[in-house]
Amino acid sequence: MSHGGRHTVLARLWLTMITFSLTATSTKEPSSDIDADPPRWTNWDDWSPCDVTCGVGIQVKHRACYPIGAECMGSSRETQRCNLTACPDVGKWSEWTQWSDCTKSCGIGTQTKYRTCLSAEAQQQCLGSNRNVRVCNTDPCKTSGGWSAWNEWSPCSEPCGRGVRYQDRTCEDPAPTGGGAACSGPGTKVGFCFEKPCTDKAASQVSVFDGEAYVEYEKTFVSRKLLSVYVKFKPEERDGLLVYRHHGVNHTSAGSNDTVVLRLEGGHVELFVQMAGVVASLRHDEILEMSRWSNVFAAVVGTRIILRVNNGVPMERKSPNVEMEKVDLDQQMFVGGVSEMFRAAIGITHPGFVGWIASVRVGYEEYFLDETEEMTSVNEQTNHPIAKRKVVRWDVEAEELYPMFTGDDYTVFTCSDCHKPDIVIEIVIKPFSTSTGVVWSNFGEEAGSYLILKNIGLLSRSR
């Protein structure tokens, strides 16, 4: 039983004695007329310890009713007061003060109230704390949102050519709360990006000439009085033929001796022109740097010949005695050198070109350096070679083939659509310094009208 071990033991002993007595004196089954034992209490437990350590407390003792489940008269529990040593005197608290004002008008703040120990003697201390604190004003404050710093730009959407990229920021520094205003302005910026030029394989290849190599083109069979030739090249030797134009050894018509030669002589670019028996030539002062890309523009405009090297100031010479009606500049053309048969027939002694040629244009039309097309009819595929020898194609970075401007260079281009009211001109540049420079300019027909695009402190990002 739960009221003490001693009572349980006595009950067991009593049961054992009864069983023993019945076993010893009885010789037959007990009669059903014998009465069961009446309910009775066990002896009381000892008093429990006092429930306080000083002053007046309470003690408790218990007893049990047997048999288990029977009902005995009286109580199973008694209590009495216990008087221990008197407790020392302690101080008494005053009443609590009113709650203080909240420490914050919004958001989470606190309120405090105090009480005072009223003990008259120093040794009589009050039990507990003299301060009570609680939370107040839990509603969020009204805070307007603030922008975070911009994230890094996203990668360009296109691997080449013009693409777009994004830059984001969030309205979380701080975030708007309590009905505060949201951030003003965009959370995303969109900008154009340009990783590198887009080119096909042919556009990123150059032709390599070894002094014996050449590419040959047929004439267009359409008489022309004007001619312009552009060549982008990287020389490895100071002497060599770039372009040789002639009517061929079998032509005897008027203008059959007209000749246009563009060549390197001691590192200088020379233009030699013979029209209707009149010879004119130009020699540029600049000595080209070997193993570096250069470009040359040569033109025959009526009686004038023009030579321009590396987008510099053009040189010009006029031959007033030329009979233009006898001139025909529609000619067979060789690039990089000439065939042995042609060299022997015409008596050409100048060596072939050694180096790289990336581009050849005649009359602003690109001429292919790597294809040989079978001529099927007159005026068909005239910008494709009809023959070539020992020309090797090499892959290069497309960016290497784009023109470079040093501050004194410029180039002129025509705009066939500029007469339209709405035109779009897209220019991609890669600046090498933060200095200011004119990127593009256009002067209008009316006096004082012009349009200029300038670079002001723009520097391309490194990759």
Instruction: Give me the pLDDT at residue 31, please.
Output: 46
Query: Would you say residue 33 has pLDDT above 80?
Result: no
How far, CA to CA in Å, does 338 sit from each of 136, 264, 349, 360? 98, 15, 10, 16
CA-CA distance, 176 to 170, in Å (whole number)? 11
pLDDT at residue number 23: 36
Asked whether the predicted pLDDT for residue 378 surpasses 60, the reply is no
**Cα→Cα distances 193→186, 188, 258, Å:** 20, 16, 49
Spatial separation of the C-alpha atoms in residues 207 and 361, rounded to whole Å: 14
Residues 301 and 169 in one domain: no
In a domain, 11, yes or no: no
Q: Are residues 174 and 263 in the same domain?
A: no
Q: Are residues 167 and 247 in the same domain?
A: no
Residue 183 shares a structural domain with residue 306: no
Which amino acid makes up residue 295? N
Mean pLDDT of 307-321: 87
Report whether 55 contacts 87 (CB < 8 A). yes
Ranked by mean pLDDT, the top range of 118-127, 253-262, 284-293 is 284-293
Residue 134 pLDDT: 92
pLDDT higher at 284 or 329: 284
Residue with tokens 């887009």: 198
- Helix (H) or strand (E) holding 427, with range, is none
Q: Within 10 A of 358 (CB to CB), how many other CB atoms are there?
A: 21
Given this model, what pLDDT does residue 13 score?
A: 34
Within this chain, do residues 269 and 190 fall inside the same structural domain, yes or no?
no
Residue 191 vs residue 4, higher pLDDT: 191
Residues of the chain above pLDDT 70, percent: 81
Which of 379, 390, 392, 389 lies closest to 218, judged by CA?
Answer: 379
Average pLDDT, the chain: 80
Q: Are strands 259-265 and 278-283 parallel, antiparallel or unpaired?
A: unpaired
CA distance 148 to 169: 6
The verdict on residue 146 lying in a domain is: yes
In a domain, 241, yes or no: yes
| pLDDT of 335 higher than 60 | yes
C-alpha 181/C-alpha 145 separation (Å) is 6
User: Would you state the pLDDT for residue 436?
Assistant: 74
Lowest mean per-residue pLDDT among 25-34, 140-149, 194-203: 25-34
Q: How confident is the model at residue 296 (pLDDT cuts 50, 70, 90)?
A: very high
Q: Count CA within 13 A, CB hemisphere, residue 438.
A: 10
For a pLDDT cut of 90, what percent of the chain falls above it? 31
| Residue after which a domain boundary falls, among 360, 383, 400 | 400
CATH number at residue 187: 2.20.100.10
359 by Cβ neighbours in 10 Å (0-12 / 13-18 / 19+) ranks as middle
- pLDDT higher than threshold 80 for residue 208: yes
pLDDT at 21: 35
pLDDT reading at 121 higher than 70: no
Q: Is residue 265 part of a domain?
A: yes
How sure is the predictor about 34, in pLDDT bands with cuts at 50, 70 and 90?
A: very low
Our CA angle for 81, 87, 88, nearest 5°, is 165
Q: Is residue 152 domain-shared with residue 218, that is, in the same domain?
A: no
What confidence tier does 219 reach under pLDDT thresholds 50, 70, 90? confident
**Count of domains forming the chain:** 2
| Mean of pLDDT values over 159-180 | 89
- Of 89 and 51, the one with more pLDDT: 51
> Residue 87: is its pLDDT beyond 80?
no
Boundaries of domain holding 165: 125-198
Among candidates 420, 236, 237, 259, which has minimal Cα distance to 329? Answer: 259
Checking if the pLDDT of 5 tops 60, the result is no
> Quick check: is 453 in a domain?
no
Residue 250 is predicted with a pLDDT of 62
Q: What pLDDT band is residue 441 in, cutting at 50, 70 and 90?
A: confident
| Same domain for 207 and 285 | yes
What's the whole-number mean pLDDT along residues 4-9? 38
Mean pLDDT confidence for 45-52: 89
Residues 346 and 393 in one domain: yes
Domain boundary among 176, 198, 220: 198
When mean pLDDT is compared across 142-156, 175-189, 394-408, 440-454, the lowest value belongs to 394-408
Residue 182: inside a domain = yes
User: Would you say residue 374 has pLDDT above 70?
Assistant: no
Residues 292, 352 within the same domain: yes
In a domain, 458, yes or no: no
The reply to whether 188 and 284 lie within a common domain is no
How confident is the model at residue 99, as a pLDDT? 93
pLDDT at 353: 96
Q: Can you tell me the distance from the alpha carbon of 388 to that of 392, in angstroms, rounded to the nearest whole number?
A: 10
Is 432 or 68 the better-scoring residue by pLDDT? 68
Confidence tier at 105 by pLDDT (50, 70, 90): confident
Task: Identify the pLDDT of residue 10.
Answer: 36
Range of lowest pLDDT (137-141, 235-239, 382-386, 406-410): 406-410
**Is residue 70 over pLDDT 70?**
yes
Q: Which of 141, 168, 198 is the last residue of a domain?
A: 198
* pLDDT for residue 229: 94
**Is residue 330 assigned to a domain?**
yes
Whichever domain contains 321, its CATH number is 2.60.120.200
Within this chain, do residues 251 and 352 fall inside the same structural domain, yes or no? yes
pLDDT for 198 beyond 80: no
With CA atoms as reference, report the closest residue to 245 among 221, 226, 269, 272.
Answer: 272
Of the pLDDT bands very low, low, confident and very high (cuts 50, 70, 90), residue 12 is very low
- 315 and 228, same structural domain? yes
How many whole angstroms from its chain centre is CA 10?
Answer: 91
